[in-house]
A and B are shown apart, each in its own frame.
Chain A
């Protein structure tokens, strides 16, 4: 016996549970999974805060990716409450979801009540094309790509480490890249600093880097600081950035950077290179150790290695700079396990990676205290290395 569409809907609604928008509004804050079963174009015009989009046609194949646990609470909605009723029946009867409810009146009633909606910023068609390989990865997708486009990453140095980081972060669509470097491109840089070029020898590195970044991805905004970091300018320069990529080449600045980033709670992805060896760690203030937890103080000047030019295998800063870029992206997207509380030691000749643990020091002179307790005059304080390096020539 055939039934009319209206009758079928009535029968289905009698078999599923419905929920009023006022109740959904309460549950949103509790983190209950909310799924929008409308088409993706409808979702793009606005949706319930925090709702995930699974168009009804993809429901069976995608629901487990969003709500893997069949006993967890789940709310579905559409435009008026009909498509979500059919979807609820499918999840309940065919897939065994135990606590599915369909929101009465859909997003239309939700809006009529004056409740908040979220309007997603859509990627342009060119962006969908450019970042298509990101969009295909579930851990990134359109939402993750938007996070990358919104992110602000500051690179300290457009040198060996900064070159590959900047290029790949730009390619990945990190929306704003800041570069701090007061140097000019030199012929001897080009064995490893691949963001520059032979034609640009003698021009400021920040300008050269900007040119390469824009040639690769005009979406990226570049903020240039052709200065050296010091105690008087550091807070102003680093404030407001989401992540800092550290290629700082001397101890005074390394400690100053640590103290300033702890005060501002900015994570630092740090790497260093020498010869055939590289090191990498992520310092996320108050979640993991800071640089002073790792090394309370720098070596005294007489035991420090020469401050003159050191040799390095040209590809090594490439490897380490890209490990930094990878950690930056993980921090922005909040995925994976960033190298927080771990120091990775890469030996290029041996092709080995060794890992050691780094603990927060409960007596750390900086991060054992609240940011507001750290005073300006304490920042970066320890024996003066720049004077030593100047003396050593």
Chain B
């Protein structure tokens, strides 16, 4: 099982957890497993063609999976995936910081 760090904007979709565990041998499998347990995360993570959305970055430990093998990047049991959607500065989306 890999550990997935959930960003603040996605926490409501996973019952408020900051990190969750999910199984899988590569990034795609781990994220699919997350989406099957917490279906609300699916449209945040994946585009209609099954690829990672452009506005979401996923890091294997500290490295962007796009510079590794993308969704096919192998994931080990002790690895951590960090999900990072685009976030504007200040208080996100609000007019007053």
Contacts and interface: CB of A to CB of B under 8 A. Distances in A.
A274 B7 CA distance: 10
Contact of B94 (A279, A309, A317): A309
Contacts of A209: none
A201 B67 CA distance: 49
Given A297-B55, A299-B53, A358-B64, A343 B89 contact: no
A271 interface: yes
B86 A295 contact: yes
A249 interface: yes
B86 A298 contact: yes
B91 A160 contact: yes
Contacts of A370: none
B94 A345 contact: no
Contacts of A349: 18
A307 B92 CA distance: 7
B88 to A, nearest CB: 5
A249 B87 contact: no
B89 A161 contact: yes
Nearest to B59: A356
A374 interface: no
A249 B94 contact: yes
Interface residues of B, number: 32
Contact of A250 (B7, B63, B93): B93
A310 B92 contact: yes
Given A189-B96, A350-B18, A248 B62 contact: no
B89 to A, nearest CB: 4
B97 A304 contact: no
Interface string A349-374: 11000111111000000000000000
B31 interface: no
A299 B97 contact: no
B82 interface: yes
A300 B56 CA distance: 11
Nearest to B53: A299
Contacts of B51: none
Interface in B14-32: 18
B33 interface: no
A254 B89 CA distance: 8
A17 interface: no
Contacts of B82: 345, 354, 356
A247 B93 contact: no
Contacts of A298: 55, 86, 88
A183 B93 contact: no
Interface string B41-80: 0011000000001111101001110010000000000000
B86 A251 contact: yes
Contact of B88 (A183, A254, A359): A254
Contacts of B7: 277
A249 B97 CA distance: 7
A389 B96 CA distance: 13
Nearest to B12: A305
A357 B85 CA distance: 15
Interface of B: 5, 7-9, 18, 43-44, 53-57, 59, 62-64, 67, 82, 84-97
17 contacts: A159-B90, A160-B91, A161-B90, A162-B97, A248-B88, A249-B89, A249-B97, A254-B88, A254-B89, A272-B89, A296-B55, A297-B55, A298-B88, A307-B93, A309-B96, A312-B91, A359-B67
